[in-house]
Chains A and B, each alone.
Chain A
Amino acid sequence: MMLAEKYLRDAMMPHMWCPGCGHGIILQAVIRAIDKAGLEHDKTVIVSGIGCSSRASGYMNFDTLHTTHGRALPFASGIKMANPDLNVIVLTGDGDALAIGGNHFIHACRRNIDITTVIFNNSIYGMTSGQYSPMTPVGQFATTSPYGNIDRNFDVCELAKSAGATYVARSTAYHAPSMPDLIVKAINNKGFSVVEAVGQCPTYYGRRNKLGSPVDMLNWQKEHAVNVAAAAHLTPEQLADKLIIGELHNSSAPEFTEKYDQLVARLQGRE
């Protein structure tokens, strides 16, 4: 990939992800989006939490912060608030963002702080070898759901929208060619943006649930994805096992750091 030279840390490659893992595909889409959006290299900060996906920050040749489990968003919020000129992108996983980090996630949405969050959703805790996450569908197997998962999963896009995020989109690793455009729109949104990127964990999720090879798992994504426009014509029953992809929500609301800037201007009599 030609952009690798510009945006990846050559010395850290090849990455640590398993063969056929969706994370590399999603990270490539993030890099294409950063390039396409024309973000200033020196003014862009990448923040991640803990887990397989959060290792992404270490491969990216930016100012990068690999934080504690679940806490990428509050670290990122501190960066953005202290220096609103920086473009802040958070790379996180389904467990990181929505279990241990769930509270931070809804509050970042509520605040509408100008951060773009890409959730690498592989439906499993990969780094710890395959426990179920808040995104593991009911009935699926994991090391901690050996009889099938009975713990209901989130629809993170609905959650983000309800909590106040102003841009929400979903894509899959199979849809890598169109994913960057969604991330570009997320980056350009002045507010809190969420892109759920559904990927595959062939090693811990795929194998235990007999989902086949990485290619089979990508084909599953292809077959189960329905574009948001097409989905509008389908019944809830028809959509039951589908992934609605595309731009799911795009609204405008006051952005947190801008509101604070206005407050400072007012208090200092500059307004």
Chain B
Amino acid sequence: MSPTVKLLQGNEACVEGALAAGVKFFAGYPITPSTEIAELLAERLPLVGGRFMQMEDEIASMAAVIGASLTGTKAMTATSGPGFSLKQENLGFAIFTEIPCVVVNVMRGGPSTGLPTSPAQGDVMQARWGTHGDHPVIAVYPASVPEAYELTIKAFNLSEKYRTPVIMLMDEVVGHMREKVELPDVPQIPIEERPRPTVSKENYLPYDNNQGDVPPLANFGDGYHFHVTGLTHDQTGFPTSAPAKAKVLYERLHRKIENNLDDILMWETKDMEDAEIGVLAYGSTARSAARAVSLAREQGIKAGLMRPITIWPFPEKLITQYASQLKSLVVAEMNLGQYVNEVERAAQGQVPIKRVLQANGELIRPDTILQAIMEVK
């Protein structure tokens, strides 16, 4: 059957992706510019036997999502900057207790109340380090409405497969922009489910160290009688302060992400084969960057685009792969310098970095990036 073609907002596409991935629970709190996700799921979830809850605040929304996921239900929430700040403690709980869920942050200008209806890319480092403590994280970042659909499915897949929350950062302009999206009757992307226990209930360990780096997760209500705590725990799930056991947990949490980068990392490149000037950008900024690269090529400048799609874990390989070939690397982002510092670290001095930074609630225009290319060519 041919797919349904719709003109959708990024926020709507995110909902379609979530439903395709099998979301059955959403808890949220109204906040611009992500509210359409909650509104649409309030309408759609009961139609597919799912459940929607508008909670009393952002903290409660994150908590309810984790609780729902523990019953074996695919669950998500959506928010924006101030709400993302409030969710951080429970987001850390989900990372540490390894409960799958998806958290969408449709970014606005910040800090504080900031610019609620303007685009900004200021939460990039918060997505990486917003919750306290030592932890890995997965964050994906669409640049278009069709990609918001696909990446929401992939965010659920990664979340289930690696038993971890997955953050999807989306620019306000992507969330609110309308583009053509093809919605297949059956998703083209295979749907992943979390690993389930295969041992007897008596022998089940929720953080089993002998089941690979992603131990199976039982559902509450299925008779496994297991304990989940935000305290540092051993493989039984019960608290421990023994350094040897703590080390095992922390290292496994990192390993399950770091050892699977080939599966987790996604990026797109354009015209990089012979590029001398690289332009690295993500989200909506990458669209301006792509235009700037085309304009540069028209003028005979060998420019190319590097667009991280998975922004965390950091795609070191994308940088190291091209660093030695480039004369200069332009990094453009809608903040006053966040991701660029990671790029600089990864480049290890092999290529000079040119910063195109802007935080005023406006998109970075292609000509601004083109100008930077001209300066370093």
Residues of B within 8 A of A264 (CB): 46, 49
Task: Assess the A45–B225 pair: CB atoms within 8 A.
Answer: no
User: Please, how many angstroms separate the alpha-carbon atoms of A80 and B63 in the complex?
Assistant: 12
Stretch at the interface among A62-70, A130-138, A239-247: A62-70
Alpha-carbon gap, A9 to B57, bound state (A)? 34
Contacts known (A45-B220, A58-B227, A64-B228); A82 close to B68, Cβ less than 8 A: yes
A sample of 16 more A-B contacts (CB under 8 A), given A78-B65, A81-B68, A263-B46, is A42-B225, A45-B220, A58-B227, A63-B70, A65-B227, A65-B228, A66-B230, A74-B60, A74-B67, A77-B55, A77-B67, A78-B68, A79-B70, A82-B51, A83-B221, A107-B60
- Shortest CB-to-CB span from B301 to chain A, Å, is 52
B57, A63: Cβ atoms closer than 8 Å: no
Q: How many residues of A contact B (CB 8 A)?
A: 40
CB of B22 within 8 A of chain A? Answer: no
Roughly how many angstroms separate A68 CA and B223 CA in the complex, as a whole number?
A: 24
Question: Residue-by-residue, is A56-96 near B (CB-CB < 8 Å gives 1, otherwise 0)?
Answer: 01100111111110010111111111110110000000000
| CB <8 Å contact, A12 and B238 | yes
Please judge, given known A-B contacts A68-B63, A68-B89, A74-B67, whether A63 and B73 are in contact too, CB under 8 Å: no
The A-B contact count (CB < 8 A) is 133
Chain B residues contacting A11 (CB-CB under 8 Å) are: 238
**Structural contact, B46 and A58, CB atoms closer than 8 A:** no
List which A248-268 residues lie within 8 A (CB) of chain B: 260, 263-264, 267-268
Does B348 reach chain A (CB closer than 8 Å)? no
Q: Are A63 and B225 in contact (CB under 8 A)?
A: yes
Which of B53, B57, B93, B230 has the largest count of A CB atoms less than 10 A from its CB?
A: B53
- Collect the chain A residues with CB atoms within 8 Å of residue B53's CB: 77-78, 81
CB of A104 closer than 8 Å to a CB of B: yes
A43 within 8 A of B: yes
Question: Separation in Å of the B69 CB from the closest CB of chain A?
Answer: 8
What would be 29 A-B contacts, judged by CB atoms less than 8 Å apart?
A9-B227, A41-B223, A41-B225, A43-B221, A63-B226, A65-B220, A65-B228, A66-B231, A68-B63, A71-B60, A73-B60, A74-B55, A74-B56, A74-B59, A75-B64, A75-B67, A78-B53, A78-B64, A78-B70, A79-B67, A79-B71, A82-B24, A82-B67, A83-B71, A83-B220, A103-B60, A104-B56, A267-B47, A268-B49
Name A residues whose Cβ lies closer than 8 Å to a Cβ of B.
9, 11-12, 41-43, 45, 47, 57-58, 61-68, 71, 73-83, 85-86, 103-104, 107, 260, 263-264, 267-268
In contact, A71 and B63 (Cβ under 8 angstroms): yes
- Contact between A42 and B60 (Cβ–Cβ < 8 Å)? no
Within 8 A of A (CB), among B192-247: 220-231, 238-239
Within 8 A of A (CB), among B237-289: 238-239
Is chain A's interface secondary structure helix, strand, loop, or mixed overall?
helix
Nearest CB on B from A43, distance (A): 6
Question: Do the beta carbons of B73 and A83 come within 8 Å of each other?
Answer: yes
The reply to whether A79 and B56 form a contact with Cβ atoms under 8 Å apart is: no
Q: Does B140 contact A (CB under 8 A)?
A: no
B74: nearest chain-A partner, CB-CB:
A82
Cβ contact of B59, chosen from A42, A57, A61, A71, cutoff 8 A: A71
- B90 at interface, CB cutoff 8 A: yes
Does B106 sit at the interface, judged by CB under 8 A? no
- A68 touching B64, Cβ below 8 Å: no
Q: How far is the CB of A50 from chain B (nearest CB, A)?
A: 8
A104 near B60: Cβ-Cβ < 8 Å: yes
Q: Let me know if A68 and B93 touch, CB within 8 A.
A: yes
Q: How far is the CA of A201 from the CA of B64 in the complex (A)?
A: 31
Across the interface, A86 reaches (CB within 8 A) one of B25, B71, B93, namely B71
Instruction: Name the CB-closest residue of B to A45.
Output: B220
Distance of A249 Cα from B41 Cα, bound (Å): 36
Residues of A within 8 A of B27 (CB): 74, 78, 81
Q: Is B66 part of the contact surface with A, judged by Cβ < 8 Å?
A: yes
Across-interface contacts of A67 in B (CB, < 8 A): 63, 93, 230
A268 vs B228: C-alpha distance when bound (angstroms): 35
Query: Is the CB–CB distance between A42 and B68 below 8 Å?
Result: no
A164 to chain B, nearest CB (A): 13
Complex contacts, A65 vs chain B, CB 8 Å: 67, 70, 220, 227-229
Q: A66-B230, A66-B231 are in contact. Are A78 and B66 (CB under 8 A)?
A: yes
How far does the Cβ of B87 sit from chain A's closest Cβ, in whole Å? Answer: 11
**Cβ contact within 8 Å between B64 and A107:** no
Q: Does B148 contact A (CB under 8 A)?
A: no
The interface residues of chain A lying within 8 Å CB-to-CB of B143 are: none
Instruction: State in angstroms the CA–CA spacing of A143 and B342 once bound together.
Output: 45
A197–B250 CA distance with the chains assembled, in angstroms = 38
Q: Which residues of A contact B227 (CB under 8 A)?
A: 9, 57-58, 64-66
- Which A residues are CB-close (under 8 A) to B24? 82
In order of increasing CB-CB distance, the 10 nearest A-B pairs are: A78-B67, A78-B64, A74-B60, A82-B68, A74-B63, A42-B223, A66-B229, A107-B56, A78-B68, A79-B67
Query: Which residue in chain B gives the minimum CB-CB distance to A76?
Result: B67
Task: Tell me if B220 and A58 are in contact (CB < 8 A).
Answer: no
In the complex, which of the residues B47, B59, B89 has the most CB atoms of chain A within 10 Å of its own CB atom? B59
Verify if B311 is at the interface (C-beta below 8 Å from A): no
Nearest CB in chain B to that of A268: its residue: B47
Q: In the bound complex, what is the Cα–Cα distance between A64 and B66 (angstroms)?
A: 13
Residue among B24, B68, B220, B230 having the largest count of chain A Cβ atoms under 10 Å: B220
A107: which B residues are within 8 A, CB to CB?
Answer: 55-56, 60
Q: Would B223 and A81 count as touching, CB distance under 8 A? A: no
Whether B369 sits at the interface, judged by CB under 8 Å, is no
Min CB–CB distance A75 → chain B (angstroms): 4
